[in-house]
Amino acid sequence: MDSWDIASLPVEPHRPEVLRSDDETRVVALNLPSGERLQEHQVHERTWLVVADGEVEVDEGETTVTGGPGLLVHFEPNERREVRATRDARLILLLAPWPGEGHPRRRNL
């Protein structure tokens, strides 16, 4: 078993920390300071975003959701989104399958 106390992890802003990566999933912790954002982006994997602390606004074009600890957001592979911190935020991203179809690393497998 692996476990992490997300609130006490020494994750620095602008330096995501990969907590676990294996043949099925990748889990990443992020520290997003208030007022900053993950600019509009997309990834090849299905993504779940969990707010562990703080508050964010998530925009995927047609829909915007705001929430704090406990907010869980799901994105389809290649779905574009932007995440903005309205308060200092700790986030967890779970990517699966890892790496996703079309990911450059997948071509090397």
pLDDT tier for residue 107 given thresholds of 50, 70 and 90: low
Report the b/e string of 11-28 with b at 16+ CB within 10 A: beeeebeebeeeeeebbb
Contact 3, 46 (CB under 8 A): no
| Total tally of structural domains belonging to the chain | 1
Domain presence at residue 10: no
CATH number at residue 42: 2.60.120.10
What range does the domain containing 94 cover?
24-102
Residue 68 in this model has a pLDDT that exceeds 80: yes
pLDDT, tens only, 7-52: 889 999 989 999 999 989 999 999 999 999 987 777 788 999 999 9
Asked, for residue 96, whether it belongs to a domain, the answer is yes
What is residue 7's predicted lDDT score, i.e. its pLDDT? Answer: 85
